[in-house]
Amino acid sequence: DVKVTQSSRYLVKRTGEKVFLECVQDMDHENMFWYRQDPGLGLRLIYFSYDVKMKEKGDIPEGYSVSREKKERFSLILESASTNQTSMYLCASSFRGFSNQPQHFGDGTRLSIL
Amino acid sequence: AQSVAQPEDQVNVAEGNPLTVKCTYSVSGNPYLFWYVQYPNRGLQFLLKYITGDNLVKGSYGFEAEFNKSQTSFHLKKPSALVSDSALYFCAVRDRDTGFQKLVFGTGTRLLVSP
């Protein structure tokens, strides 16, 4: 089974802090994704990456950056955390070559910015 | 642009009754369609997908979905609901013809199955 592991289930940070969310997958997937989930808004794509050191902006990239130095690891960075970034963050991965393949998700990080 | 609509925020059904969770989509080309389920404090789990071929797709936990091209719908169904099916359900679409890997998700439908 595919395993996508997010480093923290719950995280509390302060406004203005630099925040790192880590995600690791064990299935040699080329694609990795970061979403945020908010009630009534569903999942919104922040950034995705289809290869090491490659990244593409999603629908809501403002205030975020990402890093992919190794194939299995995709990091989401909040440069200067703000209260409106309080949310559930979900990481996902998938094979690149077959777009009919599902994305596999981690269990999420519930981030609170105080 | 791709989009997905889940018109019901919540669906209530009694245990043992059939359930339907609705989804309609919009893509410029041909769709790949997916259903995911999310249990409390967990990530999304893949249930089933439509790629091509048979319009009735069977998936995990007894769920199935019917693809209807003329109505651009992909409704999730189960003949007999269980209390343990209570969860948040997401429909998602990808445009097969553009080659993009990006999925677009609906806003989710909460299913509540009462004993």
- DSSP secondary structure string for all residues of B51-100: -SS-SEEE-GGG-EEEEETTTTEEEEEESS--GGG-EEEEEEEEETTT--
Q: How far is CA B18 from CA A38, A89, A91, B47, B68, in A?
A: 29, 33, 33, 17, 19
Q: Which of B41, B43, B94 sits opposite A99 (nearest CB)?
A: B94
- pLDDT of res. B48: 95
Q: Cα separation of A20 and B96, whole Å? A: 33
CB within 8 Å of chain B, chain A residues 94-113: 94, 96, 99-100, 102-108, 110
Q: Cα separation of A17 and A92, whole Å? A: 25
Q: Cα separation of B69 and B24, whole Å? A: 10
Does A43 contact B51 at a Cβ distance shorter than 8 Å? no
Residue of A50, A99, A105 for testing the chain B interface, max B β-carbons within 10 Å: A99
Structure confidence at residue B28 as a pLDDT band (50, 70, 90): confident
Residue A73 structure tokens: 């690891």
- pLDDT of res. B94: 87
Rounded mean pLDDT, A38-51: 92
Does A105 contact B43 at a Cβ distance shorter than 8 Å? yes
Which helix (H) or strand (E) segment holds residue A22: the answer is: strand A19-25
Q: Round the average pLDDT of chain A to a whole number and report it.
A: 93
Tens-place pLDDT, residues A57-107 = 998 999 999 999 999 999 999 999 999 999 999 999 998 866 778 899 999
B59 close to A (CB below 8 A): no
